[in-house]
Structure 1
């Protein structure tokens, strides 16, 4: 956690945590729901054996994973959600796809700037379209109210002032911070990143420590006591 690319499991646990934290939001605050990388991977997998699965099986797996995560949130009602985030792990890189219900947009949020010779199609393939198709198929039977709201959504690739081509290891940290702070619009959105990586170094280090500590101390962490005891022992030795 102190350096290098995050394991997808870390983002997956945080997706659950962010959804649960938002359930206790203040009146009038944006309702946000977060799904793990495992949902998108059912329809756009990295492993060849999953790529070879028939389309109907992939869709079935997508629906089952989505239902499982909603149940994990305590059967959360997503019909009135404002923002629905899907964390994506594709070709070794993390980014976000956000369904902005009020604005009827699907927003792609990525810290990695596109090089001049690379197109959106080259980088993202049909990822956003696949998610729209799969999610709409799920909602049509499981949540008709939200299905109606998300008809004919436009895909928008957000241009972030802090996006760069230099950073190839911290995309998971960017995703966590974007999930934590994004409220549906670029206006007044200040997650704290700078475009210059040298200026970002200490902030990213702080975020790594923050997210690790919060997860260790989380009440749903089954080994919280053991880890905290071990940390105290190390602290005393030093």
Structure 2
């Protein structure tokens, strides 16, 4: 799979998803804005650990820049990562960090574009935000399942066609069964 970029020289921003202690967040390198941000949906969760991980990621990226993009290295290497504060950050949501991370990568435009807080389209932590996250789950899942690079796309399309032909009552039953399976998985202790 290609991204359309032959080199990092043509990239304004580099998003690096981090998985730490079963929690996803983003370290974003804004090359044009000369900025490094830690973008996380959780307020204050493991701040010291996030900072340590982001600094290590910065070292790795800067080592790469020093070799492959030496004019950018002196601009990025003295920078310290900063944890962003956003109005939609959460204190009680421990299951949607992956959805938040994808939304953050999709909507963050960086310091070089705007000085004001960016609009992720997410409300503050609330039942409204919960609804928005459900919609995003559907959106991202659909894009993943129906992507041309998904080897199981054909099978997914067949299942979708079968679902579309079902009676409304049967569709509702399938939906409830799926919700139950999802909730069972979320509540399962690993």
What interval of TM-score do these two structures reach, taking the shorter chain for normalisation?
0.7 to 0.9
Moved over 4 A (4+): none
Quick check: 1:224 aligned with 2:153? yes
Q: Which residue of 1 aligns with 2:53?
A: 127
Q: Could you state the TM-score of these two structures normalised by the residue count of structure 2?
A: 0.78
Residue of structure 2 aligned with 1:193, choices 119, 122, 126: 122
Q: Distance in 2 between matches of 1:107 and 1:125?
A: 10
Tell me if the contact between 1:106 and 1:155 (Cα under 8 Å) persists in the aligned partners.
Answer: yes
Q: Which residue of 2 aligns with 1:150?
A: 76
Quick check: 1:108 aligned with 2:34? no
- Describe how 1:62-77 pairs up with structure 2 within 5 A: 72-73=2-3, 76-77=6-7
Quick check: 1:237 aligned with 2:163? no
CA-to-aligned-CA distance 1:53-93 (integer Å, 9 cap, x gap): xxxxxxxxxxxxxxxxxxx4356221132111100000110
Tell me if the contact between 2:29 and 2:35 (Cα under 8 Å) persists in the aligned partners.
Answer: yes
Tell me if the contact between 2:17 and 2:27 (Cα under 8 Å) persists in the aligned partners.
Answer: yes
- Describe how 1:1-238 pairs up with structure 2 within 5 A: 72-73=2-3, 76-114=6-44, 120-121=47-48, 123-124=49-50, 126-185=52-111, 187-238=116-167
Q: Distance in 2 between matches of 1:149 and 1:167?
A: 36
Q: Could you state the TM-score of these two structures normalised by the residue count of structure 1?
A: 0.63
Gaps of 5+ in 1: 1-15, 17-71
Gaps of 5+ in 2: 168-190
Over aligned residue pairs, what C-alpha RMSD do you find? 2.0
Q: Distance in 1 between matches of 2:164 and 2:62?
A: 50
Kindly tell me the number of residue pairs found equivalent between the two proteins. 164
CA radius of gyration, larger in: 2
- Larger relative contact order (CA 8 Å, sep ≥ 6): 1
Q: Distance in 1 between matches of 2:29 and 2:90?
A: 24
The Cα of 1:125 is off from its aligned counterpart by 5.0
